[in-house]
């Protein structure tokens, strides 16, 4: 019997010929990511469990991103706890204000195809873009991994998503994943893998695949899976070995179901307040006034996203009384966008360009909104209170759509 991508990764990790959905296995962890928000809780649990050493400090990555710069008095406690833990246990992979954790895990080469990776953030599903098994966990599970290097898990069922054809102009991978989430529902892939395939997916850049893998969790998915290819190898700076080259779903693999899309049928869409699966075509929402636009986050803060926004805004100005906040996903992205002139274009259009970090996406720094205000944003969630008060309306969109809205001062495409 054939295997899905995720089943192959898990079977390889545990040294088995195959695994089946629902099977409980114990995996050896290749890498973990700790974020600043969770550090005090991870450390407390680590000590409570009686561990006195980290199983492999070189496999641990600590990222300060959600609380940088500090916006509340207690934020600095997280820095102190994290720094003390890193010093005590010899953690060398520590990033202080270098960017968003998921972007850094990928661009710094911490994740490779076929790896099993866990992180203390739900959007750890992002790393599936290069053919890794990756998922978010809580601080208790993370403390257990830090002490043992292992974690038990259930092999997920897989939903296969096939996309073939050429995307219309103005449609990005963000529009694709939003439409898929709308079709599946916010719980339609709960504890299941989403395996993306088809010619459209093959034509995508790794950055575009990252946006889709990042938001797989918004349909409840345990993980996302893309087949590693030449683009993956180039991005990761490796040559794919035989195992990595074989990370594709077999023709006779068993899937929970297969959903098929024609790329030509996709349109620019938005997730409307306050549900990620409340998807409507932008054309149906045209004319709704906006107060703020946010382009950034671990979903759409990469160079190609900023370039797409700059292409829309070149020679234009942000509409009066509209704030456009642009947040590169990492310091590297910031520098690349600066070097190629993208930040210049955005600045001339009237954008407020911030340091790389989570900031507004997680409701901390850089543009919190008030009652009655409306924001079009390129991040991954539009829950009540996510970017300010519970009376803020958040519309999720692609960088192209968001940039157009900033120039128009209203929803447009």
Whether 279 and 258 map to the same domain: the answer is no
Instruction: Examine the fold and report which residue of 217, 237, 263 is the final residue of a domain before the chain moves on.
Output: 263
For residue 154, being part of any structural domain is answered with yes
| Mean pLDDT of the 43-52 span | 98
Q: How far apart are CA 37 and CA 52, in angstroms?
A: 22
Query: Mean of the pLDDT values across residues 153-182?
Result: 98
Give the model confidence (pLDDT) of 304-363 as tens digits.
Answer: 999 999 999 999 999 999 999 999 999 999 999 999 999 999 999 999 999 999 988 887
pLDDT value at residue 365: 76
Three-class HEC string of the chain: CECCHHHHHHHHHHCCCCCCCCCEEEEECCEEEEEHHHHHHHHHHHHHCCCCCCCCHHHEEEEECCCCCCCCCCHHHHHHHHHHHHHHHCCCEEEECCECHHHHHHHCCCCCCCCEEEECCHHHHHHHHHCCEEEECCHHHHHHHHHHCEEEEECCEEEEEEEECCCCCCCCHHHHHHHHHHHHCCCCCCCEEEEEECHHHHHCCHHHHHHHHHHHHHHCCCEEEECCCHHHHHHHCCCCCHHHHCCCCCCCECCCEEEEEEHHHCCCEEECCCCCCCEEEHHHHCCCECCEEEEEHHHHCCHHHHHHHHHHHCCCCCCCCCEEEEECCEHHHHHHHHHCCHHHHHHHHCCEECCCCCHHHHCCCCCCECCCCEEEECCCCCCCCCCECCCCEEEECCHHHHHHHHHHCECCC
Same domain, 9 and 64: yes
Do residue 205 and residue 288 come from a single domain? no
- Show which of 218, 236, 263 is a domain's final residue: 263
Give the integer Cα–Cα distance in Å for 38 and 119: 10
Given this model, what pLDDT does residue 74 score?
86
pLDDT of residue 359: 83
Q: Does some domain include residue 160?
A: yes
Tell me: pLDDT of 69 over 90. Answer: no
Total Cβ atoms within 10 A of residue 252: 8
pLDDT tens for 334-349 read: 999 999 999 999 999 9
Are 311 and 352 found together in one domain? yes
Supply the pLDDT for residue 211: 98
* pLDDT above 80: residue 264: yes
* Model pLDDT, residue 41: 98
Number of independent structural domains in the chain: 2
Percent of the chain with pLDDT over 90: 94
162 and 42 in a single domain? The answer is: yes
Q: What is the pLDDT of residue 60?
A: 98
Assigned domain for 29 exists: yes
Domain identity same for 32 and 131: yes
Assign 127 a pLDDT band (cuts: 50, 70, 90). very high
Residue 121: which CATH number? 3.30.499.10
In this structure, is residue 361 part of a structural domain? yes
Q: In terms of domains, do 403 and 296 share one?
A: yes
Do 120 and 208 belong to one domain?
yes
Segment 103-132 mean pLDDT: 98
Domain holding 366, by residue range, is 271-408
Confidence of residue 54 (pLDDT cuts 50, 70, 90): very high
pLDDT band at 1 (very low <50, low <70, confident <90, very high): confident
On whether both 208 and 76 belong to a single domain, the answer is yes
pLDDT of residue 154: 98
Q: Are residues 98 and 30 in the same domain?
A: yes
Q: How many residues does the chain have?
A: 413
Look at residue 63 in the predicted model and tell me its pLDDT. 97
What pLDDT shows up at residue 109? 97
Q: Are residues 62 and 206 in the same domain?
A: yes
Q: What is the pLDDT of residue 363?
A: 79
Mean pLDDT of 122-126: 98
Arithmetic mean of pLDDT, 38-63: 98
For 340, other C-beta atoms within 10 Å of its C-beta total 14
Local confidence band at 36 (pLDDT 50, 70, 90 cut-offs): very high
pLDDT tier at 201 (50, 70, 90 boundaries)?
A: very high
Confidence tier at 367 by pLDDT (50, 70, 90): confident
Average pLDDT for 274-285: 97
CA dihedral 74, 391, 306, 301 (to 10 degrees): 40
What band does 4 get if pLDDT is binned at 50, 70 and 90? very high
Those residues with Cβ within 8 angstroms of residue 247's Cβ, 6 or more apart along the chain or in another chain: 5, 8, 9, 113, 114, 131, 227, 228
Q: How many CA atoms lie within 13 A of 274 on its CB side?
A: 12
Residue 373, pLDDT score: 96
Instruction: Tell me whether residue 413 is in a domain.
Output: no
Q: How confident is the model at residue 30 (pLDDT cuts 50, 70, 90)?
A: very high
- Residue 230 within any structural domain of the chain: yes
- Relative to beta strand 24-28, strand 150-154 is antiparallel
């Amino acid at each position: 019997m054939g295997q899905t991508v995720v089943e192959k990764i898990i079977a390889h990790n545990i040294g088995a010929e195959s695994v089946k959905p629902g099977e409980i296995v114990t995996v050896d962890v290749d890498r973990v990511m700790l974020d600043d928000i969770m550090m005090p809780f991870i450390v407390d649990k680590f000590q409570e469990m009686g561990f006195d050493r980290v199983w492999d400090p070189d496999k641990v990555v600590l990222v300060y991103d959600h609380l940088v710069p500090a916006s509340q008095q207690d934020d600095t406690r997280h820095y102190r706890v994290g720094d003390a833990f890193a010093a005590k246990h010899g953690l060398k992979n520590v990033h202080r204000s270098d960017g968003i954790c998921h972007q850094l895990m990928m661009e710094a080469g911490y994740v490779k195809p076929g790896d099993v990776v866990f992180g203390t953030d739900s959007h750890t599903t992002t790393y599936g873009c290069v053919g890794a098994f990756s998922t978010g966990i809580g601080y208790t599970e993370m403390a257990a991994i830090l002490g043992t290097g292992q974690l038990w898990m259930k092999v997920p069922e897989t939903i296969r998503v096939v996309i073939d054809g050429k995307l219309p102009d103005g449609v990005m991978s963000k529009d694709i994943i939003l439409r898929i989430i709308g079709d599946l529902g916010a719980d339609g892939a709960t504890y299941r893998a989403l395996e993306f395939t088809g010619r459209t997916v093959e034509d995508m850049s790794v950055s575009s695949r990252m946006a889709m893998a990042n938001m797989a969790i918004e349909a409840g998915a345990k993980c996302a899976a893309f087949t590693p290819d030449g683009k993956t190898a180039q991005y990761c700076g490796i040559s794919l070995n035989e195992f990595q080259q074989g990370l594709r779903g077999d023709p006779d693999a068993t899937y929970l179901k297969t959903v098929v899309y024609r790329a030509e049928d996709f349109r620019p869409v938005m997730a409307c307040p306050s549900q990620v699966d409340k998807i409507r075509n932008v054309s149906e929402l045209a004319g709704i006034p906006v107060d703020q636009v946010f382009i950034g986050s671990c979903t759409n803060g990469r160079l190609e996203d900023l370039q797409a926004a700059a292409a829309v805004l070149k020679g234009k100005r942000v509409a009066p009384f509209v704030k456009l906040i642009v947040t590169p996903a990492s310091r590297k992205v910031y520098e690349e966008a600066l070097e190629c002139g993208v930040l210049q274009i955005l600045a001339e259009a009237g954008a407020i360009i911030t340091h790389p970090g989570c900031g507004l996406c997680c409701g901390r720094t850089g543009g919190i909104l008030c009652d009655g205000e409306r924001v079009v944003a390129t991040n991954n969630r539009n829950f009540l209170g996510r970017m300010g008060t519970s009376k803020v309306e958040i519309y999720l969109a692609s960088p192209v759509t968001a940039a157009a809205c900033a120039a128009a001062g209203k929803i447009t495409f």
